[in-house]
Structure 1
Amino acid sequence: MIDLEEQLKNPVWYSLKETHKKFAIEHNGVQFYNPEICSFGSFFDETKTAKAANEYLKNSDDFFFVSENQTPIIDNTKVSLEKKIDGCQMVLNKLTEVLITENIVLLGKEFIDEIYELVWLVMPGYYKRRSFEMGKYFGIFKNGKLVAITGQRMQTNQFIEVSAVVTHPNYTRQGLAKQLIAHTTKEILKEKKTPILHTNKGNLAISLYEKLGYELTRDMNWWSYRKIG
């Protein structure tokens, strides 16, 4: 078994080799998620990424390569780099006790559209409707409306990633995200797995994650590509 520290260096790769292997698509030794599920790709050998990207984009218009410190190689005649997101990985050290005052609900399939709409309202550009299938989603409702969610994304037999932490703009600064992150983290710990998360460097939310017991561990960068033509 690959140890946790090695898995965390390439979380997309190992997620697709373990828990999410049913979503995996492989081209030229490079691993991608089914584009209906997620837009992430992963690799160890960057000399294989150009050919793999060209193949993957036959069935998708865009995707991300996720890498700690390697730079993917692409075919500039067929693929364009839209942006590079300088990200970081955080791993739970010890969860800070949080008072849960909200009613946090495990969200079923009937909420797929509401989750999608809320994520795209707050953080448009990456979430797919079928991303719901990657893990559990939890939500808080106000007046019958879903106003805050937290989900689980990449995962293996050893870790689960906290993701899709979003709150409707009308309900921010009420501690909803804090309670949802704490709840989701506890659910991961119940499975005897390590909670992790990813975010952009400089994100103001990092201070909240740190207060909850997460620690910055490494860079984890997102290279966003789009098919030309």
Structure 2
Amino acid sequence: MSGLATTPSVLDNPIWYALQTGNRDMASGSGQAQYIRRDAGAFAGMPHNSVAELEQLQGMIAEGEVVVLFTTGHLTIPAGWRIQLNRDLLQMAHTGPLQPLSSSGLIQSLTELHIPEMLALTALTKPGPFLQRTIDFGNYEGIFENGKLVAMTGQRLQPDPYTEVSAVCTHPEALGKGYAGLLLQSQVRQIKTAGRIPFLHVYPENTRAVALYQRMGFALRREMRVYVLERI
């Protein structure tokens, strides 16, 4: 597949490097195994995603809780974990020019008052894990119709100098109106204006989203894997 990365990058291990840099204020754990504050996300990061590091992480996570890992390949999972998900993932980075923002008046900043609606929309559309305090990653924006949140996106992992665009979702009744593209334009503009590089993750079978991201200036960087592991 064209566009795959051939040189190492912090994006090969985005969760680990985010916990060391842009999201370190949300990190818990020790030197070789760390995780995002549990009310904000299930992400965990390790330097090498090795068996020894996974065993160390195991001692930090309560039985029945899950962690999400982004990796560049298959992992050897030690005893004490149950694999809930092991799935292909595409990582895309923004390489295009900064596009003019149209109809910016539709976009509203989302606050704690909007958390119930954000949880409902992400539960319906399933863009990825979204918890009670995921909003603390920052810069979430939405579009409303008749007072109802129908589209949103925001920023999540921040492995310097990159910022991840996340939770891109639209209510099924509001599809086809260009809301996702408009919100993406806004996020890309904010990130690039701050001197950072936007990136995102998407399942390869979500061809509609992949096509949208390509139109918005994102290009495939590399194939990844996402694991969801339950502590048993």
> TM-score, normalization: structure 1?
0.89
1:106 paired residue number: 109
| Cα displacement (A) at 1:6 | 2.3
Q: In angstroms, what is the RMSD of aligned CA positions?
A: 2.1
Distance 1:28-1:81 versus aligned 2 partners, 3 A rule: farther
Distance 1:160-1:124 versus aligned 2 partners, 3 A rule: closer
* Aligned partner of residue 197 in structure 1, secondary structure: strand
Unaligned runs of 5+ in 2: 1-6
Unaligned runs of 5+ in 1: none
| Cα displacement (A) at 1:157 | 3.7
State the aligned residue count: 223
* Aligned partner of residue 118 in structure 2, secondary structure: helix
Distance 1:179-1:5 versus aligned 2 partners, 3 A rule: farther
1:64 paired residue number: 68
Q: 1:35 aligns with which of 25, 34, 38?
A: 38
Letter in 2 for 1:179: L
Letter in 1 for 2:153: T
2:189 paired residue number: 186
How do residues 84-123 of structure 1 correspond to structure 2 at under 5 angstroms? 84-95=86-97, 97=99, 100-101=102-103, 103-123=106-126
| Cα displacement (A) at 1:143 | 0.6
Show CA shifts across 1:146-201 (max 9, x none).
11001100013411100000111111111110111111111111111001011112
How do residues 196-215 of structure 1 correspond to structure 2 at under 5 angstroms? 196-204=199-207, 205-215=209-219
> TM-score, normalization: structure 2?
0.88
Letter in 2 for 1:29: Q
Distance 2:177 2:130 in 1: 24
Aligned-pair identity (%): 28
- The answer to whether the Cα contact below 8 Å between 1:16 and 1:23 also exists between their aligned partners in 2 is yes
Distance 1:186-1:125 versus aligned 2 partners, 3 A rule: closer
Show CA shifts across 1:47-67 (max 9, x none).
323312421322761111211
> Which deviates further from its counterpart, 92-101 or 7-16?
92-101
Letter in 2 for 1:210: Q
> Which deviates further from its counterpart, 172-181 or 58-67?
58-67
